[in-house]
Amino acid sequence: ERLDRAEKLFSPAEAAKDGIKLVFMNSSDKDELLAVTDGTGYDDVFVYAPVPAVVELGDAILGFDGCLNFFAGPLDKNFSANFNFYNVHYAQHHVAGTSGSTPADMKDIVDLLGKKRLDPSVMITHIGGIDAAINTTLNLPKIPGGKKLIYTHIELPLTAIADFSELGKTDNRFRILDEMVKANNGLWSAEAEEYLLENF
């Protein structure tokens, strides 16, 4: 479901126009992942979950001079995984651990947002009001989808943007929000936000 949404938002056909081969796949098979690169491996691999098998798969699909970026900081101080040190020496593999941005990165992001080269709305899959904040925070790992945007000055249960159409059958406000979102490629928008704040 997430990959389908990603493929809709980030079209492989559009990427191809810029000379980029964009592939969406869900696989834990090393050979299948390496086949995408014709067996050469990846320059950069990002690991977003502190799971030994995921770290080890990331290491196994690195190409020459590849960098494994371990983005997910583990809570377990003894977390470890096997890492191929032969490849560290002979294939120049390296690892970095990051979980945030520097002030310079943030300035770059703001600049890209201003130039409309980045659209953070692709991350938002749910909206809610102050009454949804506690349960959303406590149950975040169990709630599917992307970012949950909470408006602290309205009351609204946590609501998936994908559910607007169904909710619109009994609440005209959601029908209007659904139309606004659909007109914006299925994404949350400033127009939808303005309507929400004026009508909820």
DSSP assignment of 17-63 equals HTT----------HHHHHHTTTTS-EEEEEE-S--HHHHHHHHHTEE
- Inside any domain, residue 186: yes
Rg over CA atoms, the chain: 21
Total of domains in the chain: 2
- For helices 172-182 and 190-199, give the axis angle rounded to 10 degrees: 170
- Inside any domain, residue 18: yes
pLDDT, residue 111, reads: 93
pLDDT, residue 2, reads: 80
SS3 state of residue 129:
strand
Statement to judge: residues 132 and 189 lie in one domain: yes
Cα dihedral 92→93→96→102 (10° resolution): 50
91-21-59 Cα angle (round to 5): 30
Statement to judge: residues 92 and 156 lie in one domain: no
CATH code, domain with 36 = 3.40.50.720
Residue 55's φ and ψ, nearest 5 degrees, are -60, -45
Structure tokens at 20: 């980029």
| 135, containing H or E segment | helix 130-139
Statement to judge: residues 17 and 92 lie in one domain: yes
- Inside any domain, residue 115: no
Q: Is-contact 121 189, C-beta < 8 A?
A: yes
Q: Is-contact 155 129, C-beta < 8 A?
A: yes
Statement to judge: residues 67 and 149 lie in one domain: no
Statement to judge: residues 131 and 50 lie in one domain: no
Residue 65's φ and ψ, nearest 5 degrees, are 60, 30
pLDDT per residue, tens digit, the chain (200 aa), is 788 888 988 999 999 999 999 999 998 999 999 999 999 999 999 998 899 999 999 999 999 999 999 987 788 999 999 999 999 999 999 999 887 778 898 899 899 999 988 888 999 999 999 999 999 999 998 999 999 999 999 999 999 999 999 999 999 999 999 999 999 999 999 999 999 999 99
Statement to judge: residues 12 and 87 lie in one domain: yes
Strand pairing report for 159-160 and 124-129: antiparallel
- Inside any domain, residue 111: no
- Inside any domain, residue 105: no
Q: Which domain holds residue 166?
A: 120-199
Q: Which amino acid is at 20?
A: I
- Inside any domain, residue 109: no
